[in-house]
Amino acid sequence: MLRYITTLISDGLIALLVVSLLFWLMLTQPLLPTKGNKHGASSLESVSESRLKKHVTQLSLVYAPRTVGFGNLDYAAHYIHRQFMKSGAAYFQRYKTLNGYFNNVILELGPETNEIVVIGAHYDARDDSLDAEGNASGVATLIELAHQLALHENDLSIRVQLVAYPLSQSQTLRREDSGSFNHVEWLAKSHRKVKMMFSLDSVGRFNKQAGSQHYPFSFMQYLYPDNGDYISLVGRIEDFVQLRATKNSFAKASTLPLYSFNTLDDFPGFSSLDHQNYWQKGYPAFLITDTASYRQLDNQSADVPERLDYHKMALLVAGLHQVVMDAKTDDITSVQLARQNSRNRNKSSGRLQ
């Protein structure tokens, strides 16, 4: 009898260990070491920390407060548009709300495929603070990523849309007023396929000190680091394959630790309106964040540009650049048509093939 009970306990512990291991693998998707930088063009040396800081400073000091109650949202949109224009033909997607007109700022790069990769960041703020972290940091990263992708646009295999959104932070407006909602509606009506969407929301806060990272649920402290020296990638369980491909590509070009979390649609803790709007249309979408309020800093002073880590933000840009360069469209017809259109344009302009 004792032997039978001992066997049951042993089998139960083994089963618990196996289930725990599977849970850990599903949730965190650990990677083996990745060698090489396939598209080394966006190395750390080519990403400018000074440009990143300049954009954060402009958005948080010159164009703050970036809220509906002030006129700075339009000024911020035009600043982003001017920066995007340095990388390509940027444009506004203007839409109307009960509070007036607002603009998504869009830059498209790469071949004219129907399937696209979307990378977005909201440029409005929650309140009248400088809000350098949330989300001038995301917008600055978006602008610098646009610069890097434009340098190697001919090597892209899929169309990329970089989008800056208004009205993602307002607690008084409808979800339908947000820029990301209007952008995804426009994509759906245009029958565009979204291979992946990435939302950059608070990406400049890092801390190596033990105990600086907190989590919404206690079990997470056993799965993730207790120091806030990494960037987080949050996606749905059904987008497991795309998330893993993203981690593999990112690790090829960046030494910034990237930890992932597979979640249900309504899982609390790591939420952001922008990527959730794409989930509602069935598109694979991911939140990229430093976890914001769950991460403590050495200096808990005002949210100012000086407290962000621009070296880590540069590492983020390098990793995202690699992710986009590795992205391939499943729509072969679109690729062939895009290449034919490119050849026709070259011929009409007199360029040699």
Q: What is the dotted CATH code of the domain comprising 43-140+171-287+303-320? A: 3.40.630.10
Span of 47-61, 126-140, 288-302 with lowest mean pLDDT: 288-302
pLDDT, residue 174, reads: 86
Average pLDDT over residues 321-345: 70
40, 32, 78: which is closest to 325 by C-alpha? 40
pLDDT band at residue 19 under the 50/70/90 scheme: very low
Q: What is the mean pLDDT of the chain?
A: 84
The two three-digit tokens of residue 348, written as one number = 């009409």
Strands 100-109 and 115-122: unpaired
Gap between the terminal Cα atoms of the chain = 82
Lowest mean pLDDT among 70-74, 117-121, 231-235, 349-353: 349-353
Of 156, 80, 151, nearest in space to 115 by CA: 156
- What's the pLDDT score for residue 265? 66
Mean predicted confidence (pLDDT) in 322-351: 64
Q: Would the pLDDT of 227 be above 50?
A: yes
Higher pLDDT pick, 271 / 159: 159
- The 3-state DSSP class for residue 168 equals coil
Between 338 and 100, where is the model more confident?
A: 100
Q: Which long-range contacts (CB under 8 A, 24 or more apart) does 92-100 make?
A: 93/182, 93/183, 93/186, 95/179, 95/182, 97/167, 97/173, 97/174, 97/176, 97/177, 98/177, 99/68, 99/173, 99/177
Residue 208 has pLDDT above 90, yes or no: yes
The residues facing 120 across adjacent strands are 163, 199
- Give mean pLDDT, residues 244-271: 85
Q: For 297-311, what is each residue's pLDDT tens digit?
A: 766 555 788 889 999
Write down the pTM of the prediction.
0.86
Assess whether pLDDT exceeds 50 at residue 24: no
The answer on pLDDT for 23 being more than 60 is no
pLDDT tens, position by position, 263-273: 776 665 566 78
* Residue 288: pLDDT over 50: yes
Q: Specify the pLDDT at position 353.
A: 32
SS3 annotation, 130-146: CCHHHHHHHHHHHHHHH
pLDDT exceeds cutoff 50 at 293: yes
Work out the average pLDDT over 146-152.
Answer: 97
Residue 17 in this model has a pLDDT that exceeds 60: no
pLDDT at 249 over 60: yes
> Half-sphere exposure (CA, 13 Å, Cβ side) for 321?
31
Q: Mean per-residue pLDDT for 287-297?
A: 88
pLDDT at 12: 55
Separation between Cα atoms, residue 35 and residue 180, nearest integer Å: 35
In sequence order, what are the residues at sequence separation of 6 or more whose Cβ sits closer than 8 angstroms to the Cβ of residue 134? 125, 126, 169, 201, 202, 292, 303
Sign of CA dihedral 248, 116, 114, 190: positive
Of 23-27, 140-144, 173-177, 329-333, give the lowest mean pLDDT range.
23-27
Nearest to 39 by CA among 198, 142, 195, 148: 148
Whole-number Å distance between alpha carbons of 278 and 270: 16
291/288 Cα distance (integer angstroms): 9
Other CB atoms within 10 A of residue 293 CB = 10
- Give the pLDDT band of residue 41 (cuts 50, 70, 90): very low
317 pLDDT more than 60: yes
pLDDT at 296 exceeding the cut of 90: no
Task: Output Rg (C-alpha) for the chain, integer angstroms.
Answer: 21
- Is pLDDT of 21 > 50? no
Specify which residues 199 forms β-bridges with.
Answer: 120, 287
Q: Does 333 have pLDDT greater than 70?
A: no
Element (H, E) at 40: none
pLDDT at 75 exceeding the cut of 70: yes
**In a 3-state reduction of DSSP, which class is residue 104?**
strand
- Least trusted range by pLDDT, from 100-114, 140-154, 200-214, 287-301: 287-301
